[in-house]
Amino acid sequence: MVKNYTTSVAQCIGFLLFLVSTHSFAPRQPMMLKAQPPVQQQRTTALAVTDLDVIGLVAGQENYGLAIVCLGEALWSFAQAPSLSHAKVLVPAVVATGLLVGASGPMITSGDASTVATGLWLATGVSVGLGVSYVVRLLAPFSPSPKEIAALGLLVAVAGFFSFSQNLVVDGFVTLPSLPTISLPSF
């Protein structure tokens, strides 16, 4: 109820701002006496015009952000109980950060469509690997550091997976199968 009210208020404010801005700043045009033919506009879909620079910028930020967060989580977990046996929490994070920064990041920000797609696939795989390592840490019977941080790491890895896989689908690098349309009877 509150969300709907907030959305309605935001839509009303947006509409009022639209009316004020178009009325105040729109050029004054004389009224047309003759009917003019409608102007044909070509519409393009989002997939028809793929701006690889924007995709590279956004996905690159997500990629490097995931690398920083997973390495920060591992360092924080290790700092909670520093020991040689607990250093194993650093291994998946260091490997993932190396792959994200050294391989996937430059591929995503390259601007070449096939390289961007490969980088997104690599980042998606790394996020799955990170998720598996966090699940293993959560299922371990004993952990020197609190398991809450591993749970938050798992959430970040899941978010990374959905983000990278969504970029693959939305940007047209992966085409999902679709069912053929069936003809329905008309009455």
Q: What are the residue boundaries of the structural domains of the chain, listed by start?
A: 52-170
pLDDT greater than 60 at residue 148: yes
Determine contact, residues 118/59, Cβ cutoff 8 Å: no
Among the residue ranges 25-29, 90-94, 98-102, the one predicted with the least confidence is: 25-29
Q: Angle, to 10 degrees, between the axis of helix 90-99 and the axis of helix 52-80?
A: 160
- pLDDT for residue 75: 93
pLDDT greater than 60 at residue 9: no
- Cα(59)–Cα(173) distance, integer angstroms: 13
- Cα(103)–Cα(120) distance, integer angstroms: 10
Q: Give me the mean pLDDT over the 5-23 stretch.
A: 48
Q: Give me the mean pLDDT over the 73-97 stretch.
A: 91
- pLDDT for residue 19: 44
- pLDDT for residue 12: 46
- pLDDT for residue 46: 47
Q: At CA 185, angle to CA 179 and CA 186, rounded to 5?
A: 125
108-125 pLDDT, tens per residue?
998 888 888 899 999 999
Q: Give me the mean pLDDT over the 73-89 stretch.
A: 90
Whole-model pTM: value is 0.65
* DSSP per-residue string spanning 46-98: TTTS--HHHHHHHHHHHHHHHHHHHHHHHHHHHHHS--TGGGGGHHHHHHHHH
29-45 pLDDT, tens per residue?
444 445 555 555 554 44
Q: Angle, to 10 degrees, between the axis of helix 147-170 and the axis of helix 113-139?
A: 160
Q: Give me the mean pLDDT over the 83-106 stretch.
A: 92
Say which amino acid occupies 152. L
Q: Give me the mean pLDDT over the 96-110 stretch.
A: 93
| Nearest Cα to Cα of residue 126 among 183, 64, 77, 170 | 64
Cα–Cα distance list, 104 to 56, 131, 152 (Å): 11, 17, 23
H or E stretch at 165: helix 147-170
